[in-house]
C-alpha cells in the first residue's frame, strides 16, 4: 500500500461526504470534511493537506472562489480536484482557470476518484518535493515544519508556527490582525489578548538568531514580515 494521504473534502452533501470519508479512511488515508466553502478554506489554510477535493456549488463561498483564494491570495500549491454536476466546457474552463488541477463530473465512481487522487498526489510529490518559504535569511520548510534563521534552528510552538507560515506566505505584505485571528481560531477568537502573546513569542525567536528585525508591528492594523528595506 502507498503512504497514506491527508485529504480535505469540501462537500455540502451530507451522504456523499460520509461515503467519501468512509471509503478513503478504509484505505488508510486521513480525512477531514468541511460542509461549506468558508470552513473549507479555513481548514485548507491552517492545515497541510496532500489533496483537496472541492465541490463547485457550496454554501457560504463557492468552489471557484475557494480555489482562487487558495492560489492567488494564500499561494497554496496543494493539488485540487473539483467535483461538480456541471459538465459544460465553460464550467471546466472556469474551474481550471481558478487553479484546479483536475475536474470530475458527478455522479462518479469512488474508485475513479481514488485513482485520480493517487495519480495527482504522485505528480505533486515530484513537482513540489520540498516546499520551503524564504524571507531574507529566515527559512521555513513546510514539509518538515523546520524553521531556521541564518542556519540556526528556531523552536516554535504550534500557534506561532502557523502565524509564521501565514506571514511568510503574504510577505512583504501586511497581514491584518483580524486575518491572523481568523486563520488561527476561526470565528471564535479568545477573549484575552492571546495574539499579542503569540506574536511576542514569535518575534523573540526570530530576533534571537539575527540582528536585522524582520517582524514589524503596524499599530492598529496588523503585522508584516520582511526586511526593513523591502517594498510592501
- The CA distance from 37 to 28, in Å, is 26
Q: Residue 29 has what DSSP assignment? A: -
pLDDT digits (tens, 9 = 90+) for 1-13: 467 899 999 999 9
Instruction: Give Dmax (Cα) for the chain.
Output: 58
Kind and range of the H or E run holding 50? none
Q: Is residue 178 helix, strand or coil?
A: helix
State phi, psi for 187 to the nearest 5 degrees: -90, 10
For 55-87, b where at least 16 C-beta lie within 10 A, e where not — what string?
A: bbebeebbbbebbbbbbeebebebbbbbbbeee
d(CA 198, CA 100): 34
Structural domains in the chain, CATH included, are: 6-127 (3.40.50.2300), 132-225 (1.10.10.10)
Q: Using the structure block, give the residue that is written with the C-alpha cell 511568510.
A: 168
pLDDT per residue as tens digits for the range 119-137: 888 776 554 444 688 888 8
Phi-psi group of 161: left, alpha or beta (phi > 0 → left; psi -120 to 50 → alpha; rest → beta): alpha
Average pLDDT, the chain: 86
In the predicted model, is pLDDT for residue 38 greater than 70? yes
Q: Tens digit of pLDDT for each residue in 209-230? A: 777 889 999 988 999 998 877 6
Q: How many CA atoms lie within 13 A of 218 on its CB side?
A: 14
pLDDT over 70 (residue 179): yes
Amino acid at each position: 500500500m502507498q503512504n497514506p494521504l491527508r485529504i480535505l473534502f469540501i462537500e455540502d452533501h451530507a451522504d456523499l461526504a460520509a461515503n467519501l470519508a468512509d471509503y478513503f479512511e478504509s484505505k488508510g488515508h486521513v480525512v477531514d470534511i468541511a460542509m461549506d466553502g468558508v470552513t473549507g478554506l479555513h481548514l485548507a489554510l491552517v492545515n497541510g493537506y496532500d489533496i483537496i477535493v472541492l465541490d463547485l456549488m457550496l454554501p457560504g463561498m463557492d468552489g471557484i472562489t475557494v480555489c482562487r483564494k487558495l492560489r492567488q491570495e494564500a499561494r497554496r500549491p496543494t493539488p485540487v480536484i473539483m467535483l461538480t454536476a456541471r459538465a459544460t466546457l465553460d464550467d471546466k474552463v472556469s474551474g481550471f482557470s481558478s487553479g484546479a488541477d483536475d475536474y470530475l463530473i458527478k455522479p462518479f465512481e469512488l474508485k475513479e476518484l481514488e485513482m485520480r487522487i493517487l495519480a495527482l498526489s504522485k505528480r505533486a510529490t515530484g513537482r513540489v518535493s520540498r516546499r520551503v518559504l524564504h524571507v531574507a535569511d529566515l527559512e521555513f520548510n513546510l514539509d518538515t515544519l523546520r524553521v531556521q534563521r541564518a542556519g540556526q534552528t528556531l523552536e516554535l510552538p504550534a500557534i506561532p508556527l502557523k502565524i509564521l507560515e501565514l506571514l511568510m506566505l503574504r510577505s512583504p505584505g501586511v497581514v491584518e490582525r483580524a486575518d491572523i485571528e481568523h486563520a488561527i481560531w476561526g470565528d471564535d477568537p479568545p477573549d484575552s489578548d492571546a495574539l499579542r502573546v503569540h506574536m511576542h513569542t514569535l518575534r523573540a525567536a526570530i530576533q534571537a538568531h539575527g540582528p536585522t528585525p524582520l517582524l514589524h508591528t503596524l499599530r492598529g492594523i496588523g503585522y508584516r514580515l520582511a526586511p526593513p528595506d523591502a517594498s510592501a
